[in-house]
Amino acid sequence: MTRVLLTGFQPFDGEATNPSWQAVRAAVAEPPAGIEASAVELPCVYGASVAVLRAAIEEARPEVVVCVGQAGGRPDITVERVAINVDDARIPDTSGAEPVDEAIVPGGPAAYFSTLPIKACVAAVRAAGLPASVSNTAGTFVCNHVFYGLAHLIATELPDLRGGFVHVPYAPEQVTDRAQPSLPVPAVARALREIAATAARTHTDIRVAGGATH
């Protein structure tokens, strides 16, 4: 059994729900074969989110961590390639913090790459009949903050841990009054199961095109 920790976020920016946490809960309730899954809901707060993540890792002692967040406006499951060392908030987090051009880890590397097999994960989700792609930006909000915090923890303290970040679209109930793409939470949960299973068994990523021109 491979221990996998999945994380989602609390609602933010006035939303009543966050599909990342809904889907994580559903995925963990029916984990893939060979996976011992656990989950934690992170606050959408700079600093505190990474502290909660660290505590969850210390408790669950996972071999793989898949952090999940909402990316409203994206039409598919996007597996993130890179986390960058900057907080630059277009909107405040749920505590009201709104940092601008601040380093997540002062003096830390400019960026970290995911240690998940990102392209194999995308291929697995697509094979399950769901839309997915590699993303080359996790933004500069709390999702990127958590992704960078996880990657820095792996690089400096937990070299045997592998981890990364996945963004998911709005849930249908979030877009009844606006023209935005969405995916049902059960479908997102199915995608997360595929990602967890693929990350657990795949240590060398596949070599296929997954870049972008802009």
CA distance 98 to 90: 7
Burial class (CB within 10 angstroms; exposed 0-12, middle 13-18, buried 19+) of 80: buried
Task: Please identify which of the residues 67, 143, 145, 152 carries the catalytic annotation.
Answer: 143
* Sheet with strand 2-9: strands edge to edge: 35-42, 2-9, 64-70, 162-168, 77-80, 132-135
Q: Which of 153, 209, 156 is nearest to 5 (CA)?
A: 153
- 167 catalytic? Reply is yes
Helix ranges restricted to H, the chain? 19-29, 48-60, 118-127, 142-156, 185-201
- 145 catalytic? Reply is no
Q: Which of 10, 122, 125, 155 is nearest to 70 (CA)?
A: 10
Task: Please identify which of the residues 121, 145, 152, 167 carries the catalytic annotation.
Answer: 167
Task: Please identify which of the residues 67, 80, 121, 152 carries the catalytic annotation.
Answer: 80
Active site residues: 80, 143, 167
